[in-house]
Structure 1
Amino acid sequence: MADATAPGTPGPRSDRATSVPRTPRSEVRERLLTAGARVFAEQGVHEARLDDVAAAAGFSKGAVYSNFSSKEDLVAHVMQRATNLVLRSLQELVRVDIEAVDVGDAVRAAFGRHDQSAQFALLSELRGYAIRHPEFMPEFVRQRRHLHDGVRELVRRWFAAHPDVEPGMPLDTFAALLVAANSGIVFDAPALDGVDPGDAVAAMVEAVIRPR
């Protein structure tokens, strides 16, 4: 198993010529974060071991400690990466050039493109971890606020580009409801026979956007 952080030891010229190139540090971190998200979602943050994360990424545990100061540091960066991925997906979705009549279809298409079950499993584990470990709660709150801030900015930008429509409520409230509706519909999806999550959220958006 590769340890991308172990210093190389000079050897015979033939050994150096055939040595395996060292994995770039940025790739090591990304692979560890990707593996951490998967392992935490599957095993739970509390139960998962750093050895499990390292093995899933294809490295030794030394690579984890060379990139993150502790398990809590890794958990925080995993959540930060997950938050950024969600915001990037939303930025692709909420473009200012999408007309009001097409917003619902854009929401449906987004749900069709992205399976949120793995993302929600990770978020659930992170939320549970924050409840059981109060020292992590401030980081959890910071990341959720970052997500809400990003959604509010996207909502404000879109409505600013479409002065002919309004949401029928304060924009900040509308943004908060979008986040809550998305989380709630994914949470309850297994119990909602015949209800498509994308259709449900799109229907809510279409219902509240109205001409001025």
Structure 2
Amino acid sequence: MSDEDGPATTRTPRAEVRARLLAAGADAIAEHGVHEARLDDVAARAGFSKGAVYSNFSSKEDLVAQVMQRATNLVLGALEDLVDADIPAADIGDVVRAAFGRHDQSAQFALLSEFRGYALRHPESMPEFVRQRRVLQDGVARLVRLWFGAHPEIDPGMPLDTFTTLLIAANVGTVFDAPALDDVNPGEVVATLVEAVIRRR
């Protein structure tokens, strides 16, 4: 098993160690929850000793916060890769359909649910949860403003902040209810919402 404490000639770069630990932490938390996720399991999943966890994160709470940050970054990165100002109005529904529907969101939602429950049970963690959700909301709002700013001929029919809230809520709500929705695709739901509300002025 590799370990960042091995000989210098085989030392894994610190950035790779952190990335692997964060990915393993996300898997462990989604599978077992914050309380039951053990640091030695996280380390083993990543291919390191438990010491590697403590040399990269100050505590389990720090690891949890960084896993949440990683999850937020992954969602925003996926959206930023697909949404830009040059997308024609006739194509925006299909782009949204791809952006929200291209990945299985079940693991992502398991993480979000666990973070939300953990923050409710541990109020000291709520500010970090709120901060992360606002980062996501601000990122989506930035993309919404970017696209509508480049398409003044399109009327969203509501304030853009409200539109952003609806997009996020439609996606989260659909993923939440997925077991009861007979394989409804969140991307299809969000895209249908977009296509329904945008109108030429």
In the superposition, the TM-score normalised over structure 1's length comes to 0.90
Of 58, 67, 70 in structure 2, the residue corresponding to residue 69 of structure 1 is 58
Q: Within the alignment, does 1:145 sit opposite 2:139 as a pair?
A: no
Q: Within the alignment, does 1:200 sit opposite 2:189 as a pair?
A: yes
Following TM superposition, the consecutive aligned residue runs of length 4 or more in structure 1 with deviations greater than 4 angstroms are none
Find the residue that maps to 1:130 and give its secondary structure: helix
Give the AA of the match of 1:113: R
2:102/2:187 contact within 8 Å kept = no
Q: Within the alignment, does 1:52 sit opposite 2:47 as a pair?
A: no
**What is the alpha-carbon distance in structure 2 between the residues aligned to residue 155 and residue 112 of structure 1?**
18
Counterpart position of 1:2: 2
CA displacement at 1:95 relative to structure 2: 1.2
1:39/1:52 contact within 8 Å kept = yes
Counterpart position of 1:85: 74
After superposition, residues 59-138 of structure 1 pair within 5 angstroms as 59-138=48-127
1:108/1:199 contact within 8 Å kept = yes
2:76/2:140 contact within 8 Å kept = yes
CA displacement at 1:2 relative to structure 2: 3.2
CA displacement at 1:105 relative to structure 2: 1.1
Give the AA of the match of 2:169: A
Larger radius of gyration: 1
**What is the alpha-carbon distance in structure 2 between the residues aligned to residue 84 and residue 40 of structure 1?**
17
106-115 vs 149-158, which deviates more? 106-115
**What is the alpha-carbon distance in structure 1 between the residues aligned to residue 165 and residue 56 of structure 2?**
34
Give the AA of the match of 1:110: A
**What is the alpha-carbon distance in structure 1 between the residues aligned to residue 78 and residue 185 of structure 2?**
20
Number of positions where the alignment pairs a residue of Structure 1 with one of Structure 2: 201
**What is the alpha-carbon distance in structure 2 between the residues aligned to residue 112 and residue 200 of structure 1?**
9
Counterpart position of 1:186: 175
Q: Give per-residue Cα distances to partners, 1:152-184, cap 9 Å, x unaligned.
A: 111011100001001100001101111111111
Go from structure 1 to structure 2 and tell me whether the alpha carbon gap of 1:195 and 1:25 turns closer, same or farther (over 3 Å shift). closer
**What is the alpha-carbon distance in structure 1 between the residues aligned to residue 2 and residue 182 of structure 2?**
46
> CA RMSD of the aligned region, Å?
1.5
Identical aligned residues as a percent: 75
